[in-house]
Amino acid sequence: MSVSRPITVPVVRLTHGAGLDLPAYATSHAAGVDLLAAVGEDVVLQPGARALIPTGLAIALPEGYEAQVRPRSGLALKHGLTLLNSPGTIDADYRGEIGVILANLGNENFTVTRGMRIAQMVVAPVTALAWSEVERLPESGRGSGGFGSTGR
C-alpha cells in the first residue's frame, strides 16, 4: 500500500495554545492526528453535559480539502465521551479556531485537562458534485427501501 504525500497546512498557534504540541499522528499508519485541549483550567463535564473545548489552533487547508473532527475511540469506550456534530467538518475557507464539542454520555463526571487528547482530525480531499436533474432515477436492486431495508 502506498501512502499519499503530505500536504502542507499552514497553522497558527493561538495564545492559549502556547506550549502544547501540534497535532501529530500517533503511529506511522494512523489516518488522523490527535487534537489537544487548550483549556486554561480544568473543565468538568457532568453526565449529559457538553462543552466547546478549544484547541488553540487555526488552520488554512488547501482548496479541495476538508478536515473532519472525530471522536477518539478510547474516550468513547472507557468514559462515554463523544463529539456532537460528528464528524465536524472544517472547510478550506474557515480560518477560525478549531473547537471540539465534547459530550459526556457516560455515568460519571469527566475532567478535561490541558494537553489532553480529546479528538482526532482527518484531512481528506473533497469531491465536488454537479446536479443533473432528471424525471426519473435509474432502477436499482434496493429501490427506495431505507432504514433497515437491507437487513431483511
pLDDT tens-digit readout, 45-62: 999 999 999 999 999 999
Residue 6 within a domain? no
Residues with Cβ within 8 Å of 38's Cβ and at least 6 positions away in sequence, in order, are 14, 16, 17, 20, 53, 54, 55, 56, 57, 114
Residue 150 within a domain? no
State the pLDDT confidence band at 152, using cuts at 50, 70 and 90: low
pTM for the model stands at 0.87
Residue 135 within a domain? no
Domain that holds residue 63: 12-125
Question: DSSP code of 64?
Answer: T
Contact in structure between 137 and 143 (CB atoms under 8 Å): no
Residue 84 within a domain? yes
Number of domains in the chain: 1
pLDDT tens-digit readout, 82-116: 999 999 999 999 999 999 999 999 999 999 999 99
Contact in structure between 51 and 116 (CB atoms under 8 Å): no
